[in-house]
Structure 1
Amino acid sequence: MNEKISISLPSQMVDAIRSRVETGSYASTSEVMRAALRALDREEHILDQVADAKIREALEDPRSAIPADEVFDRLERLHAARVKSNSNGS
């Protein structure tokens, strides 16, 4: 069942939708929006797959884990160095 909804979009997006309909790329604004949502679904699916692969890769990494305290110490030192570098460059 189809359901009508009302949305607010910036004029630039509205123009892009209308242009696609006017050039015949899509039959209606609804078709443009459906295609956009399908593209968003594909993008999110790909990002999920990439994240899952990265997590699997990290879990399967044979190297020993770095203790969290060591990681945070490194990050704090890097951050302090960048802050100092930025304040000296101003």
Structure 2
Amino acid sequence: MPAIERMTITMPVELAETLRKTVAGGEYASTSEVVREALREWTRRRDVERQDLEALRAAIRTGLGSGSGLPADQVFAELRARYAAKS
């Protein structure tokens, strides 16, 4: 079992009441359990966001390294012409 460290946290009254109600309702054994689960979820979400950001950065690097681009006006003109031809 990992080492346990006791911490004191401060939160708005509304959140504290939600924690107490959740424990009183039997969903969790303690407020600490609720906070631990919330922190695990926050950590997972943050890791996913970091991975997404790195993937975006890699895509940008790939795009920048792929050669010169086309002017946006040219691209949009070609798209408009394509869609106009389909109508």
* TM-score for both structures, normalised by structure 1: 0.66
The alignment status of 1:7 with 2:6, answered yes or no, reads no
Alpha-carbon deviation of 1:63? Answer: 4.7
Structure 1, unaligned stretches of length 5 or more? 66-90
Match of 2:39 in 1: 37
CA distance in 1, matches of 2:9, 2:67: 50
Q: How many residues align?
A: 65
Identity of aligned residues (%): 32
The structure 2 residue matched to 1:51, chosen from 43, 50, 53, is: 53
Give runs of ≥4 in structure 1 deviating > 4 Å: none
* TM-score for both structures, normalised by structure 2: 0.68
The structure 2 residue matched to 1:26, chosen from 11, 25, 28, is: 28
CA RMSD after TM alignment: 1.4
Structure 2, unaligned stretches of length 5 or more? 70-87
- The structure having more radius of gyration, on CA atoms, is 2
CA distance in 1, matches of 2:29, 2:49: 30
